[in-house]
Amino acid sequence: MSDKIQKFLTAAQRLEIENRVKAAESSTSGEIVVMAVGASSTYPAATITGGGTFALLLALAASVLLRSEHLWLFLTLFALFFIAAHEIVKRVPVLKRPFVSRREMAEEVDEAVLTSFYSRNVHETRDRTGILIYVSLFEHRVRVLADKGINAKVGQETWSEIVDMITKGIHEKRQGEAICSAVERCGMLLQSHFPRSGDDRNELGDVMIIGSRHD
């Protein structure tokens, strides 16, 4: 499991979230999936740009210290520094972040949410009532994506309120509690429109999905 996720949610918090999912689904035919990932993309372009930027600065500094104006020495230093800097930027997200635009992060998260929604079969419930709660740490983004069955009965403003609920909880360092509250809210919405039927079965697992995109 990703260290970022372990720091973000303790084992006890993850268990509590799973228990809340089970409780929420006990009174509805709908399904709720909670997913938390370290990042929604590896951002290879940002890694290259960041590595190149740091390598350039280091090569310039080294050339000044060596009092050398030889181009070949500078290029050699740049190449050596780039190899090291690229690996460091790739492994240390905080160094990569300045080279990723807000727009790119939003686009990557949206794509990851949609991909996860289908790859995790959230779209395959009987009444099309699946809801995916998705948290991506690197981008500081939260998304709630609902299938067309429940989406036809609940307005987008309600999903936005649930996103705000989680986002506020994360900012206040009570992410576990906030996600649990979001699960309960989704459960109430599902129960209101899709109460549990006699032949209902658990179509999707209740276990929280951890670090399944790019950590």
Same domain for 124 and 154, yes or no, is yes
Same domain for 92 and 25, yes or no, is no
Q: Has this prediction a pTM greater than 0.75?
A: yes
Instruction: Please list the alpha-helical segments (H only) found in the chain.
Output: 3-8, 11-25, 44-66, 71-91, 93-96, 102-119, 148-151, 156-171, 175-193
Is 142 a domain residue? yes
Is 215 a domain residue? no
Domain boundary among 99, 115, 137: 99
Same domain for 63 and 35, yes or no, is no
Same domain for 50 and 21, yes or no, is no
Same domain for 35 and 136, yes or no, is yes
CA distance 30 to 36: 20
Same domain for 119 and 33, yes or no, is yes
Residues of the chain with pLDDT below 50 are 1
Contact 147, 167 (CB under 8 A): no
User: E-strand spans in the chain?
Assistant: 31-37, 130-136, 141-146, 209-210
Q: Domain count of the chain? A: 2
Q: What is the pLDDT of residue 3?
A: 76
Domain extent at residue 34: 3-41+101-210
Is 126 a domain residue? yes
Q: Which pairs from 58-62 meet CB under 8 Å and 24+ separation?
A: 58/85
Same domain for 22 and 127, yes or no, is yes
Is 186 a domain residue? yes
Report the CATH number that the domain containing residue 177 is assigned in CATH: 3.10.310.50
Q: What is the pLDDT of residue 1?
A: 46
Same domain for 113 and 29, yes or no, is yes
Contact 192, 161 (CB under 8 A): no
3-state secondary structure of 117: helix
Nearest one of 117, 58, 50 to 87, comparing CA atoms: 50
Same domain for 125 and 68, yes or no, is no
CA distance 64 to 191: 69
Q: What is the pLDDT of residue 15?
A: 94
Same domain for 89 and 176, yes or no, is no
Is 164 a domain residue? yes
Contact 15, 51 (CB under 8 A): no
Same domain for 29 and 49, yes or no, is no
Q: What is the pLDDT of residue 42?
A: 93
The token pair at 98 is 């300045």
CA distance 103 to 15: 33
Is 145 a domain residue? yes
Is 68 a domain residue? yes
Same domain for 30 and 131, yes or no, is yes
Residues whose CB falls within 8 Å of the CB of residue 134, separated by 6 or more in sequence, listed in order: 35, 36, 37, 109, 112, 113, 116, 142, 143, 144, 145
CA distance 61 to 172: 41
Domain boundary among 77, 99, 121: 99
Domain boundary among 52, 70, 99: 99
- Single-letter code of the amino acid located at 16: E
Contact 93, 39 (CB under 8 A): yes
Is 148 a domain residue? yes
Q: What is the pLDDT of residue 72?
A: 92
